[in-house]
Amino acid sequence: MAKVRKPDLVVIGAGPAGLGAALAAREAGLRDVMLIERDVELGGILPQCIHDGFGSIVFGETLTGPQYAQRFIDRVEKADMDIKLNTMVLDLRPDRSLTAVNSRDGILEIKPRAVVLAMGCRERTRHQVLIPGYRPAGVICAGAAQRDINIEGLMPGRRVVILGSGDIGLIMARRFTLEGAEVEGVYEIMDHPGGLTRNLVQCLHDYDIPLHLSHTVTFIHGRKRVEAVTVSRVDGNLKPMPGTERLVPCDTLVLSVGLIPENELSRRAGVVLDPATGGPVVDERMETSVEGIFACGNVMNVFDLVDYVTHTAEVAGRAAAEYVLRGVARKPEALRVRPGRNVRFVVPQLLRGYGGEVSFYFRVSRPERAVRARLVTGGIPLAAKRARMVRPPEMVRLRADPERLVEALSRGDLTVEVVPEDEGPERQG
Amino acid sequence: MRKKHYYTCINCPLSCSLELVEEDGEILEVTGQECEAGRRYAEEEFRDPRRMVTTTVRVRNGILPLLPVVSTAPIPKSLVREAVRALADVEVEAPVRDGQVIYRDILGTGADMVASRRLDRLD
């Protein structure tokens, strides 16, 4: 039996969330931090995101994905941590003990005093969107195509159709075009785009790539290799309309149909998940339902900006350090933070009242102009912010003042809602 | 002759639909913006649209076969494709430092292409 290791903290995943959390924990005074990553290098998915636009909130400048990652990697390498690359966590149990494996140590039994979940998310595949047709080569997820082109130096195809207008799909439309492939178009089943507007402009408009809203792929042709796809218009219930089919010849279908937080380990540990986010239910310190297990970044819910991932990582890393060093136990009582009008979900979902400023992140269900986002309890707003426009792809961050939150604790559960700007009394601060 | 141009502002999530009216290259009016940044964006898009360039170059003896590179400043939008094509022929030797200049003064724009990460040598 392998010797059991007992670090203060294990961080699972070394993307932006894991790097940020491990650093925050070290800086908060934790000495023995172990960072576990299944890939061969640090950075998670950022090294393949070679486009720019990262870091405008955290660094006040725009960086490429590798540059954003590099800043954290440089700090982590100087911070004296036990970094385990090429290492897969096989199991995480409710008592926080875990089993991992790599080719150098073999099986590792680890019993840390705290755990930060930072496993990120993965792409939805063809099987999750149920596209009929054959199963030829040439159907690829957008992130996988990104890795092929930007890291491995491989071209997945020459004539490309993209299904889904998520940010990675839009960015890959441009990338395929710049690398000499022909992108026939981007097809989106919803009546609004799935990605950020700045990506629509810079990736599609700049290169005259058409976006077909309310359309989907209804058949994949080709037995060995994709030869064409059938696209159809969909009705208000997202059902393909007969008679609207069009055959589009192509050799590659790129799927950008959404991301799913990667919570297999969280489930094994008994962490309660929120069906609305697909990630753990957390409180304002990013602590999950299992004491001593924290979560941050895209494992919690899929963020649009890496800057927010870093913010949640800092909260989780600091909280894990406090938990270990000062034995800050979890407060048993918690208020629920519920999604209200035009809000699909909110994180954190619980407020226990530890004090300090809390950022609530949420997504709206539908685009809306001239609104006010607010956090209310018993009809009284605790935090509010105006927005001229809200859209489902763009997360909203609402910061709440510590004093107002403490005051709220006696009043009962909270709701985050988006209301028309002229509605309801403005009682801020 | 008076002509209208339409842009979508990319400065914030508001994404204003901008309309710019010009006559013989002279900007007469910009409408549709909620703020000053929108007007500036429309004017720049009309006069001299620029974009950052990000792509990859090949690496010899690196831990990975490709190195991501980024321009040190935005270059004219019309030159982006050509810049990427020029960089397709570039090959560098590992190791590479983060920020190392890979290609000077791309297409005479004054912008350099620099490595956007560190890339170690494969031993």
Question: In this predicted model, what pLDDT tens digit does every residue of A305-347 receive, in sequence order?
Answer: 999 999 999 999 999 999 999 987 788 888 999 999 999 999 9
Confidence at residue A379, expressed as pLDDT on a 0 to 100 scale = 80
User: pTM of this prediction?
Assistant: 0.93
Q: Give the Å distances, CA to CA, from A31 to A25, A42, A115, A321.
A: 9, 20, 14, 9
Q: How far is CA A320 from CA A32, A138, B89, B116, in A?
A: 12, 44, 48, 32
For an interface test with A, which of B70, B75, B92, B102 has the most A Cβ atoms less than 10 Å from its Cβ?
Answer: B70
Per-residue confidence (pLDDT) for residue B90, from 0 to 100 = 97
Beta strand residue intervals within A150-269, DSSP E: 159-163, 182-188, 211-213, 215-221, 228-233, 246-249, 252-255, 259-261
A70 and chain B in contact, CB less than 8 A: yes
* Residue whose C-alpha is closest to residue A389's, from B34, B31, B42: B34
CB proximity under 8 Å: B 54-113 to A? 54-56, 58, 63-66, 68, 70, 77, 80-81, 84, 98
How far apart are alpha carbons A174 and A420 in whole angstroms?
36
pLDDT at A380: 84
Q: Are A362 and A395 within 8 A, CB to CB?
A: yes
In angstroms, what separates the C-alpha of A122 from chain B's closest C-alpha? 22
User: How far apart (Å, rounded) are the C-alpha atoms in residues A191 and A215?
Assistant: 8
The C-alpha atoms of residue B65 and residue B68 are separated, in whole angstroms, by 10
pLDDT (average), residues A293-312? 96
Taking residue A361's Cβ as centre, other Cβ atoms within 10 Å add up to 22
pLDDT band at A57 (very low <50, low <70, confident <90, very high): confident
Distances (CA, A) of A378 to A186, A375, B39, B94: 45, 10, 42, 62
Exposure on the CB side of residue B60, measured as CA atoms within 13 A: 5
User: SS3 for B32?
Assistant: coil
Are the beta carbons of B14 and A388 separated by less than 8 Å? yes
- When the pLDDT of each residue in chain B is averaged and rounded to a whole number, the result is 93
Structure tokens, B66: 């490709």
Contact B10 A201 (CB under 8 A): yes
ipTM: 0.90
What pLDDT sits at residue A293?
A: 98
- What burial class does residue A77 get, using C-beta atoms within 10 Å of its C-beta: 0-12 exposed, 13-18 middle, 19+ buried? exposed
Q: Is the pLDDT of residue A372 over 70?
A: yes
* A88-106: average pLDDT: 97
pLDDT, tens digit, for every residue of A27-49?
A: 999 999 999 999 999 999 999 99
Output the DSSP codes for A277-295.
TSSB---TT-B-SSTTEEE
- Which site among A56, A57, A67 would you substitute to test the B interface, given the most B Cβ atoms closer than 10 Å to its Cβ? A67
- In the structure encoding, which two tokens stand for residue B74, read together? 């935005």
A152 touches chain B (CB under 8 A): yes
Asked if the Cβ–Cβ distance from A50 to B70 is below 8 Å, we say: yes
Res. A428: pLDDT tops 70: no
